[in-house]
């Protein structure tokens, strides 16, 4: 499942409209819908903002799997979300790794200059 599809599924689980998401992200509904259709690439900043609106960690968003969620909900002995259901070993997309690496390098430079 691509990132845009994950955003859409989480949005639907929260019962948020595309209009609501677009307003929160300060963008047009048309451009927001392109995110859900994976027609425009997501920057790390935009991914973080979407995650904030959806009240999830952006890593959880990237690793979201609706099949696991529905299997989890249907299990009688399942633990609640707050006990770390989504916190699994992450398989980061290459773009996210690149972005995070750049950010870490920038922060290291800032710390060295202080």
Residue 14's domain spans which residues?
A: 3-113
Domain of residue 94, CATH code? 1.10.260.40
Residues 6+ apart with CB under 8 A from 114: none
Cα 50 to Cα 4: distance, rounded to the nearest angstrom: 11
pLDDT of amino acid 69: 54
pLDDT in tens, 50-109: 999 998 888 888 888 766 554 444 444 444 443 333 334 455 667 777 777 777 777 777
Residues 6+ apart with CB under 8 A from 93: 3, 62
Around Cβ 100, how many Cβ atoms within 10 Å? 12
pLDDT of amino acid 77: 46
pLDDT in tens, 14-45: 899 999 999 999 999 999 999 999 999 888 89
The residue with tokens 């963008």 is 27
Domain count, the chain: 1
């Amino acid at each position: 499942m691509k990132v845009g599809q994950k955003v859409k599924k989480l949005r639907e689980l929260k019962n948020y409209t595309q209009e609501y998401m677009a307003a929160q992200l300060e963008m047009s509904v048309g451009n927001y819908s392109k995110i859900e259709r994976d027609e425009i690439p997501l920057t790390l900043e935009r991914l973080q903002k979407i995650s904030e609106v959806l009240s999830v960690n952006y890593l959880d968003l990237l690793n979201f799997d609706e099949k696991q969620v529905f299997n989890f909900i249907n299990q009688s002995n399942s633990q609640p979300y707050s006990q770390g259901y989504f916190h699994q070993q992450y398989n980061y997309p290459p773009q996210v790794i690149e972005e995070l690496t750049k950010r870490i390098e920038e922060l290291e430079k800032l710390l060295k200059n202080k």
